[in-house]
Amino acid sequence: MQTWVEKVILFVWCGFSYVFLLSPMVVVMGASLHGGEFSAAIKFPPVDPSFQWYTKIPMQQFEALGLSLIVAAVATFLAALIAVPAALGLVRSNFRGKFIVTTIFRAPLQIPAIVSGIAFLQFYYLIYDNSSLMLAGTIPGMLIGHVFIATPFMFGTIVAVLQRFDHRLEEAAHSLGAGKWRTLYRVTIPTIMPGIYSGGLYAFMVSFADVPMSIFLTAPGFVTYPVELFYALENDFDPSILASSSLVIVFCLVMLLGVQKMVGLETLLRSGGGSAR
């Protein structure tokens, strides 16, 4: 049993950690509600709460948000196309050099994103030199980069689920007369679906939040939301970005609730961060 002294220490320690962890997001959301004069625009706690900045979000930021959402969604889908067969093939088979193959699939995680960013930029320039196909600053170019950084997250979670998979389920399906494709679609895929969902969520969020890779692959008029925000913070900005940032935080909360409903947070915990890296 824990003593009360210990409980108090843990409570204070945890409380401090949570204040540290959550305060920036709370402050951004709070400050976005500030309704006072333009000159004192960024203020926390807000004075005369209003939604004035939410009505003044410029089109440019919505376009950036739209691009980020599209890129993240398509990149997640493509990452699944790579990660699901890769994880199935790797967990189920046994061959020499399995360790090396695993390392290759996880490699993008070990490479700092900024290194991948400059690497893809130079890769695209090389392709351009040889075929006059310009990928930098285009949707396909952006997608390739995002698939690269997002896939290992999906791969990691699906491998974690597959390792706990009960093989007898497949054997049962087989002995009841299901063919190998039917077993795959009716038994295997549905059982690993929680892994696909939580891995997909991680992949989506990694892509949706990325700056270091995207910053090299953007072009004027073709900017993802985090990069747009990055440039705004580096130069100068007006409080409408507080409003759009708050919308993004709310979006993340909604995604979280969705996961809790669909697969439960525990799945995320078991298969998420720890095993992905």
Partner 1 sequence: MENRWIAYLIPPLIVTLLLVAGSQFVFIQNSFYQDLGLGRTGTDLTLVNYLNFFTDSFYLKTFWITIKVSALASLFTLFLGFPIAYVIARMKSRLAMLLLAGIVVSTFVTIVIKVFGLIIIFSADGVLNTTLMDLGLIDRAYSIIGTQEGIVVGLMHFTIGFSVLLLYSVVVTVPPSLEYAAQIHGASRWRVYQRVIIPLCTPGFVVGGLMIFNMCMGAFTSAALLGGGRVLTLPVLVQRTVMMEVKYSTAASIAFVLLVSVILINLISLIAIRRLRSARLVIA
218-257: which residues touch partner 1 (CB under 8 A)?
225-226, 229-230, 233-234, 241-242, 245, 248-249, 252-253, 255-256
As measured in angstroms, the least distance from the Cβ of 51 to partner 1 is 18
Size of the site for partner 1 (CB under 8 A): 92
In this chain, which of 65, 113, 135, 158 binds partner 1, going by CB under 8 A? 113
Our finding on whether 42 is near partner 1 (CB under 8 A) is yes
In this chain, which of 74, 118, 139, 193 binds partner 1, going by CB under 8 A? 118
Nearest-angstrom CA–CA distance, 249 and 227? 16
Number of CB atoms found within 10 A of residue 10's CB: 11
Q: Which of the residues 146 through 165 are near partner 1 (CB under 8 A)?
A: 147-148, 151
Q: What's the token pair of residue 276?
A: 């992905």
Part of the chain binding partner 1 (CB under 8 A), chosen from 52-60, 91-99, 130-138, 188-196: 91-99
What is the residue whose two structure tokens read 């951004």? Answer: 28
Q: How far, in Å, are 68, 102, 138, 166, 203 from residue 148 at the CA level? A: 16, 15, 16, 30, 10
Q: Which of the residues 170 through 209 are near partner 1 (CB under 8 A)?
A: 180, 205, 208-209
As measured in angstroms, the least distance from the Cβ of 109 to partner 1 is 10
Q: What's the token pair of residue 226?
A: 């985090």
Query: Both ends of the chain: CA-CA distance in Å?
Result: 34
Site string for partner 1, 47-76 (x = CB under 8 A): ------------------------------
Residue 241: what residue type?
I
Part of the chain binding partner 1 (CB under 8 A), chosen from 59-67, 130-138, 143-151, 189-197: 143-151
Query: Which CB atom, from 193 or from 232, has the smaller least distance to partner 1?
Result: 232
Nearest-angstrom CA–CA distance, 39 and 237? 12
In this chain, which of 135, 150, 216, 267 binds partner 1, going by CB under 8 A? 216
Cβ-contact 66, 251 below 8 angstroms? no
Nearest-angstrom CA–CA distance, 33 and 191? 44
